[in-house]
Chain A
Amino acid sequence: MCLAVPMKLIQFEGVNGVVESDGVIMDVNIMLIEEPKIGDYLIIHAGFAIQKLDEKEALETINLFKELRDESE
């Protein structure tokens, strides 16, 4: 039930946002997000964005995976 998916913010006005992922477009409420920007990846749960996805951290996690692989090889 805590299922949540990252989707990209493509437009918004006030607390009403429109997000997109793999061609699926949805209206969501963005009142729980501070300083939303077009292009942000937001974690969507029950019609609300509950957090921003941090792209820099996502890339760092991926780099960690790669480092471990390189070490093991």
Chain B
Amino acid sequence: MKYKDEFRNKHEIRKYVDRIGEKAADRSISLMEVCGTHTMAISHYGIRNMMPEYLRLISGPGCPVCVTPNSYIDHAIALAKLDDVIITTFGDMMRVPGSTSSLEHVRSNGADIKIVYSAMNAVEIAEANPLKTVVFLGVGFETTAPTIAASIKVADECKIKNYYVLSAHKVMPPAMESLVLNKKIGIDGFICPGHVSTVIGSLPYSFLAEKYNKACVISGFEPVDICASILMLVEQVTDGNPRIEIQYKRAVKPEGNPAALKMMYDVFEPCDSEWRGIGLIKESGLKIKNEYKGFDAYDAIEVETEPLKELNGCICGDVLQGLKFPYECGLFKTVCTPENPVGACMVSSEGTCAAYYRYENNWT
């Protein structure tokens, strides 16, 4: 990547860390990141340990795979078991546990499940297999949803009638509001998600500053970006001037990407949505609009799902809300490992438990 050295320069990181340390906070400050790529970067570069004692960095529900509830996985598994159905999915969904099984498990028992890199590949599979029912598992935040919307539009224009999407898409700002309202977490500010914001821009977060006095900075993903964003957040908190600022200006405009937003809202509309560990959050999901109902796998394909069952002992729900750290889980690193994951946060490469397992070995 161009300019990589500038954004990873350890001297620059040190200067920011020193500046953050010099800020004399008269109380502790808690900042939450709500993007899995930030979670990984903070763990990978050891940023948490560089911070002064007054500053606590906590991870939120930033991994779309992790927040997808069991009921959705069960539905996808039930579809996969039907004759003449091909499930298409991003790779990280394969090992996520449902109530009693996973997509990987049912594939090993003969279900036709194909991993794709792009939803457009799923449309191509549908076109090449006109006698099959092809279902794409639409999982992801605002970064991903426009690309899935585009696949539905293309399938519509090309009159591909055997392509369906099972949408579990989610939008971030309502989830951030629900985290703010949970007083047990106690968030002072958010490291706002960089790539979600390339699409939605900065305006959808402004209520967090205006209504709830939360500091908000949209951050890039390189270590210098993240340290610069943390300094901006600490300054907002200590100056008593919470607002939404963009540090990741090279990729995020206040208005976002209007073409991507239009694509997303041409095809999807807001709906209430369930988040693993958090529960139902109003208007936090995206469902397919009536105009494109023919592509909605929920409507078009009837299926019976198994009774819902939650995992014993797994605290993914608390981890996703920043209420507990992974090392507070009895299963972490003993029963639950990346090779044999129990909970979603260990399965996904961007899950909080996976990040701690891989990079942060200093828990006590």
A contacts, CB < 8 Å to B: 1-6, 21-22, 29, 31-34, 41, 43, 45-48, 50-51, 53-55, 57-62, 64-65, 68-69, 72
- For B2, B11, B228, the residue with the greatest tally of chain A CB atoms inside 10 Å of its CB is B2
Number of A-B contacts (CB under 8 A): 134
Taking a contact as CB atoms closer than 8 A, the residue among A1, A6, A50, A62 that contacts B257 in the complex is: A50
Contact A53 B250 (CB under 8 A): yes
Contact A43 B1 (CB under 8 A): no
Contact B198 A50 (CB under 8 A): yes
Contact B143 A47 (CB under 8 A): no
Contact B64 A1 (CB under 8 A): yes
Q: Which residues of B contact A50 (CB under 8 A)?
A: 143, 146-147, 195, 198-199, 257, 260
Contact A48 B147 (CB under 8 A): yes
Known interface pairs A1-B92, A1-B140, A47-B120; A69-B146 also in contact (CB < 8 Å):
no
Contact B250 A58 (CB under 8 A): yes
Contact B249 A54 (CB under 8 A): yes
Shortest beta-carbon contacts, A-B, top 10: A47-B118, A58-B250, A51-B198, A2-B143, A57-B249, A57-B250, A2-B195, A48-B147, A32-B260, A62-B6
Contact A43 B224 (CB under 8 A): no
Distance (whole angstroms) from the CB of A67 to the closest CB of chain B? 10
Q: Which residues of B contact A64 (CB under 8 A)?
A: 228
Known interface pairs A1-B63, A1-B90, A1-B348; A72-B36 also in contact (CB < 8 Å):
no
Contact A45 B144 (CB under 8 A): yes
* Minimal Cβ-Cβ distance residue in A for B220: A61
Distance (whole angstroms) from the CB of A12 to the closest CB of chain B? 15
Q: Is B188 an interface residue (CB 8 A)?
A: no
Taking a contact as CB atoms closer than 8 A, the residue among A5, A32, A68 that contacts B150 in the complex is: A32
Binds A, one of B12-20, B125-133, B177-185, B318-326: B12-20
What's the tally of chain B residues with a CB closer than 8 Å to chain A?
Answer: 56
From residue 193 to 214 of chain B, which have CB atoms closer than 8 A to chain A? 193-196, 198-199
Q: Is B42 an interface residue (CB 8 A)?
A: no
Q: Is B241 an interface residue (CB 8 A)?
A: no
Interface class of chain B by DSSP: helix
Q: Which residues of A contact B196 (CB under 8 A)?
A: 2
Taking a contact as CB atoms closer than 8 A, the residue among B6, B150, B260, B263 that contacts A65 in the complex is: B6
Known interface pairs A29-B120, A48-B146; A68-B249 also in contact (CB < 8 Å):
no
CA distance A50 to B228 in the complex (A): 24
- For B90, B193, B257, the residue with the greatest tally of chain A CB atoms inside 10 Å of its CB is B257
Contact B1 A5 (CB under 8 A): yes
Contact A69 B259 (CB under 8 A): no
Q: Is B236 an interface residue (CB 8 A)?
A: no
Q: List 16 extra interface pairs beyond A1-B63, A3-B350, A48-B118, CB under 8 A.
A: A2-B195, A5-B1, A29-B147, A31-B259, A45-B144, A47-B119, A48-B120, A51-B251, A61-B228, A61-B247, A61-B250, A62-B3, A65-B12, A65-B224, A69-B15, A72-B19
* Minimal Cβ-Cβ distance residue in B for A59: B3
Q: Which residues of B contact A72 (CB under 8 A)?
A: 15, 18-19
1/0 contact trace for B107-129 toward A, CB 8 Å? Answer: 00000000001111100000000
1/0 contact trace for B9-30 toward A, CB 8 Å? Answer: 1011001101100000000000
Distance (whole angstroms) from the CB of A33 to the closest CB of chain B? 7
Q: List 18 A-B contacts (CB under 8 A).
A: A1-B65, A2-B36, A22-B1, A29-B120, A32-B150, A32-B257, A43-B195, A43-B251, A45-B143, A45-B144, A45-B195, A47-B119, A47-B121, A54-B251, A58-B3, A61-B228, A61-B247, A68-B15
